[in-house]
Amino acid sequence: MKVIIKQSYSSKEVPKNIKFVYEKTNQTRPAWIWVENLPKNVMFLSTRINGKIEHYRVYLSTEIPLFLPTTYTKDEMKRYYNKFAQIYDKEIESKNLPAAQFLLKQIKLPKNAKILDLGAGSGISSIPFVNAGYTDITLLDYSSKMLETAKKKKELKNCKFLCKDITKLKVNDKFDLIFSMFSFASKSYFNEEEMPGLWKNVATHLKPKGIFMMMGNDFEPPKSLIKKIKGGGYEIVPGYQAQWYIGRKIK
């Protein structure tokens, strides 16, 4: 595969000193391209891959120069996160850890509560729950590399791990609490058409009166399934605010 970076969003010409690596794959395009020495705040790249123009964009932050296709597929997202797992903790811990600590303070559950972390990534967001004394925690993520990273954390040694697509969630268990950090932002993991089925799936896996909570969301479950208890905006770190939501299953 031959990859050429032609143009970046904020610069008509690509700087001569850039360095980049990309996924080695037998697919038509790499799921990720890592680029160093770009100008600040570059969000998009125009590339030529085997003679075809392909456009890439940063996913979470321009501080993380890891690009994925603008028209990515779910499989490409999984492969992207398998690469992202190598640097995920360093880049995400400063936001995910305090966000999880904040949500944890908003609820009260018995220590034997069954908990599911949806889109758990490398497990950072589950650590506050372990430290608070919860012992029955399951981490679910689509990326096997993310879960491999989570399994190496000593705090999570007694947790369960599931490598599954959230949209196809089917676990032979029900939970007192399901939570998710930054998985329900628009144009991230799910599109609007997928949400009705996903909310039903979440509600199905909650025990009666079970709690669902999330941080960094643009979508909220329908009131017919989960009744909102509270929510709002929270400044996780100076200059970075995210929406949060807590609801209880209706039946």
Distance CA 177, CA 207 (A): 8
pTM score, whole prediction: 0.85
Encode 200-222: b = buried (16+ Cβ within 10 Å), e = exposed. ebbbebbeeebbbbbbbbebbbe
Task: Yes or no: say if 251 and 208 are a contact pair by the CB < 8 Å rule.
Answer: yes
At residue 181, the pLDDT reads 92
Task: Yes or no: say if 66 and 59 are a contact pair by the CB < 8 Å rule.
Answer: yes
Of residues 50 and 14, the one with the higher pLDDT is 50
At residue 193, the pLDDT reads 81
Residues 15-57 have pLDDT tens digits of 778 899 999 999 999 999 999 888 878 888 889 999 999 999 9
Distance CA 128, CA 136 (A): 13
pLDDT-based confidence at 70, cuts 50/70/90? very high
For residue 131, how many C-alpha atoms fall within 13 Å in the half-sphere facing its CB? 13
At residue 202, the pLDDT reads 93
DSSP SS3 for 104: helix
- Count of other CB atoms within 10 angstroms of residue 130: 19
Burial class (CB in 10 A: 0-12, 13-18, 19+), 224: exposed
Superfamily designation of domain 93-249: Vaccinia Virus protein VP39 (3.40.50.150)
- Count of other CB atoms within 10 angstroms of residue 91: 15
Q: Which residues are bridge partners to 161 per DSSP?
A: 139
Give DSSP secondary structure letters for 136-182.
Answer: EEEEEES-HHHHHHHHT-GGGTT-EEEE--GGG---S--EEEEEEES
208, 122, 228, 104 alpha-carbon torsion, rounded to 10°: 90
Q: In angstroms, what CA-CA distances link 33 with 48, 68, 91, 191?
A: 12, 7, 17, 24
How far out from the chain centre does Cα 3 lie? 27
Task: Yes or no: say if 83 and 32 are a contact pair by the CB < 8 Å rule.
Answer: yes
Residues 184-234 have pLDDT tens digits of 876 567 777 888 888 999 999 999 999 999 998 888 999 999 999 999 999
Q: Which of 77, 81, 83 is nearest to 20 (CA)?
A: 83
Residues 96-136 have pLDDT tens digits of 999 999 999 999 999 999 999 999 999 999 999 999 999 99
* 130-158 mean pLDDT: 95
In the chain, ranges of CATH 3.40.50.150 domains: 93-249
Phi, then psi, of 77 in degrees rounded to 5? -65, -40
